[in-house]
């Protein structure tokens, strides 16, 4: 590395391997490792949820007592420390806020995540480690760019610190009442923010992140374009268009150490590009475990997903019965989410017991077995900021069938039987018949085994590691420092009204 290493604090509400509900955790567990390997001083911060096993992860005490300003008073936290590889991880410990069974959906989520952010802002001061970059992710940490332009604006400690705000999913915005500004200690500043970002009666954390961050990015180039339109902008397309010169798209990678069929401890038979027979053995093992017919030559289609409309389940709902009746394939689903879909897939399982398997739970080891044991991976999302499922599937030789949107469009290229190009099957329109047609094409192609093997190979040989994207993040961080120094957010939005 010929430029000076950066000091980066990466803040996220969920981080693999400690706590995960979706792709954000995968990113938070992998991107910092890649940046560390490049020589940067990157540290990760997250809440110390009570369910995290301290012994298993070698979690140690780091700071016994930290004073955290909250709601016009002060509270205390302690800080714990562990590592992901050689990356230090700080966990904000507070029984009051984090000793719960889950990560989200509590009545005091605003307090919980503001407290986490404030504790970290104060902790780095206490240990005298001034980050060049505060890398904030999704609404949970969106208050930080706002603080850098208000309460910490004149703090010499943060004089050289810039913020980068990453949008992993624009649909979850963190909308609260005015009280959140009091908790965060910035109620005096509320009138300085444009109305769309904070309408009179509610505060939108995501909007504040986008508005105040020195640079904003999202997790694929296509999604970064799509969110400028009303169809994908979730009410913020106007603000993102206004911030267009500060908005970037950087594709997520996956952790090639963890997501590796040659070493994955959760799968029965290890394999790589040159040993695909073992993939077939994983298929048989999965069929056995899931109670499916042990049919070698019937394509097995998998899905691993949150069960929500975003992921295209309304399309599946429209045609799944017809598909099961008319097409020769097996289907396995792992997911949790909306009750409607729990009922739908339970009834599919009842009707087609040896051709479908349905697991309505979150189960990381089973997910790996499904990536390894399936022939195809279905992801017909309505919108998809990046999508990791299709990347993991390709790494494990499961051919993706996806809708051309967001990161799915940037990573999966439609198979063309004439030119023999492509690494999966895609469709454009958000429409059940368009999806059905893509599935039929995949099933037909599967029976031409030579061609299918080429497709499997192509997916497995693709490079979706963090290597390239981590370099792009470094470029983004350096640009953010430049923006902070020369093009700060205009003063009129930051001064305290007299
Ligand atoms: P999102 O973050 O929108 O949920 P992504 O495709 O970016 O979607 O990431 C989803 C991640 O969560 C993948 O690593 C996927 O394997 C995992 N995952 C989703 N649902 C489950 C589940 N029920 N059990 C285990 N892993 C799951």
pLDDT for 311-360, tens place per residue? Answer: 999 999 999 999 999 999 999 999 999 999 999 999 999 999 999 999 99
Atom of ligand 1 nearest to the CA of 169: 3
- Give me the residues of the chain with pLDDT under 50, please: 495-498
* Residue 489: per-residue pLDDT: 74
Sign of the alpha-carbon dihedral angle for 122, 124, 127, 132: negative
Q: At what angle do helices 313-326 and 339-351 cross, to 10 degrees?
A: 10
Separation of CA 71 and ligand 1 centre (Å):
35
Q: Ligand 1: distance of its center to the CA of 260 in Å?
A: 16
Helices and strands, counts by H and E, the chain: 17, 17
Is the separation of the CB atoms in 326 and 355 below 8 Å? Answer: no
For residues 234-243, one letter each, b for 16 or more C-beta atoms within 10 angstroms of the residue's C-beta and e for the rest, the string is: bebbebbeeb
Instruction: Note the residue count of the chain.
Output: 498
User: What is the whole-number distance in angstroms between the Cα of residue 151 and the centre of ligand 1?
Assistant: 36
> Ligand 1 pocket: which of 260, 357, 388 to mutate (most atoms <8 Å of CB)?
388
Gap from CA of 21 to ligand 1 centroid (Å): 7
Which atom belonging to ligand 1 lies closest to the Cα atom of 364?
A: 25
- What span, in angstroms and rounded, lies between the C-alpha atoms of 341 and 334? 12
Closest C-alpha among 218, 229, 210 to residue 384 = 218
Distances (CA, A) of 125 to 40, 119, 152, 384, 477: 19, 10, 11, 37, 21
Q: For residue 304, how many other CB atoms are within 10 A of its CB?
A: 25
Q: Whose CA is nearest to atom 9 of ligand 1?
A: 23
Cβ–Cβ < 8 Å for 302, 370: yes
Look at ligand 1, atom 26, and give the residue with the nearest C-alpha.
364
Residue ranges lining ligand 1, Cβ < 6 Å: 22-23, 26, 169, 304-306, 334-336, 362-364, 367, 386-389, 392
Predicted TM-score (pTM) of this structure:
0.94
What is the per-residue pLDDT for 380? Answer: 98
| Predicted pLDDT at 199 | 65
Q: Whose CA is nearest to atom 19 of ligand 1?
A: 305
């Amino acid at each position: 590395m010929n430029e000076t290493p950066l000091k980066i604090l990466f803040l996220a509400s969920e981080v693999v391997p400690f706590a995960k509900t979706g792709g954000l955790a995968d990113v938070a567990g992998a991107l910092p490792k890649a940046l560390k390997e490049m020589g940067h001083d990157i540290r990760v911060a997250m809440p110390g949820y009570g369910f995290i096993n301290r012994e298993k992860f070698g979690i140690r005490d780091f700071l016994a007592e930290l004073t955290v300003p909250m709601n016009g008073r002060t509270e205390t936290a302690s800080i714990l420390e562990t590592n992901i590889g050689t990356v230090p991880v700080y966990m904000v410990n507070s029984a009051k806020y984090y000793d719960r069974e889950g990560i989200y959906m509590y009545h005091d989520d605003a307090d919980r995540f503001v407290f986490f952010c404030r504790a970290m802002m104060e902790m780095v001061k206490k240990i005298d480690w001034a980050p060049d970059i505060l890398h904030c992710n999704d609404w949970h940490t969106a208050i930080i760019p706002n603080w850098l332009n208000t309460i910490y604006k004149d703090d010499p400690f943060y004089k050289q610190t810039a913020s980068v705000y990453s949008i992993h999913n624009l649909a979850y915005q963190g909308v609260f009442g005015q009280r959140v500004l009091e908790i965060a200690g910035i109620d005096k500043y509320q009138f300085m923010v444009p109305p769309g970002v904070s309408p009179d009666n509610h505060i939108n954390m995501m909007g504040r992140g986008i508005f105040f961050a020195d640079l904003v990015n999202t997790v694929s180039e296509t999604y970064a374009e799509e969110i400028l339109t009303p169809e994908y902008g979730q009410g913020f397309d106007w603000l993102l268009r206004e911030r267009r010169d500060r908005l970037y798209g950087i594709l997520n990678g996956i952790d090639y150490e963890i997501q590796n069929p040659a070493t994955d401890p959760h799968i029965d038979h290890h394999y790589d590009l040159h040993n695909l027979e073992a993939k077939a053995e994983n298929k048989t093992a999965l069929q056995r475990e899931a109670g499916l017919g042990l049919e070698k030559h019937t394509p097995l289609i998998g899905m691993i997903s949150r069960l929500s409309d975003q992921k295209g389940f309304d399309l599946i709902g429209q045609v799944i019965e017809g598909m099961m009746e008319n097409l020769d394939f097996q289907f396995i689903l792992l997911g949790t989410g909306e009750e409607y879909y729990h009922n739908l897939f339970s009834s599919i399982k009842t009707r087609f017991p040896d051709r479908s398997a349905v697991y309505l739970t979150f189960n990381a080891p089973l997910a790996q077995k499904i990536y390894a044991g399936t022939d195809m991976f279905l992801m017909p999302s309505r919108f998809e900021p990046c999508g990791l499922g299709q990347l993991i599937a390709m790494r494990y030789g499961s051919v993706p069938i996806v809708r051309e949107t967001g990161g799915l469009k940037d990573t999966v290229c439609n198979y063309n039987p004439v030119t023999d190009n492509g690494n999966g099957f895609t469709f454009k329109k958000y429409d059940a018949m368009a999806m059905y047609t893509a599935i039929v094409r995949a099933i037909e192609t599967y029976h031409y085994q030579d061609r299918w093997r080429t497709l499997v190979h192509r997916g497995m040989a693709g490079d979706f590691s963090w290597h390239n994207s981590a370099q792009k993040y470094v470029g983004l961080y350096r640009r953010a420092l430049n923006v902070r120094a020369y093009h700060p957010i205009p003063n009129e939005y930051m001064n305290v009204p007299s």
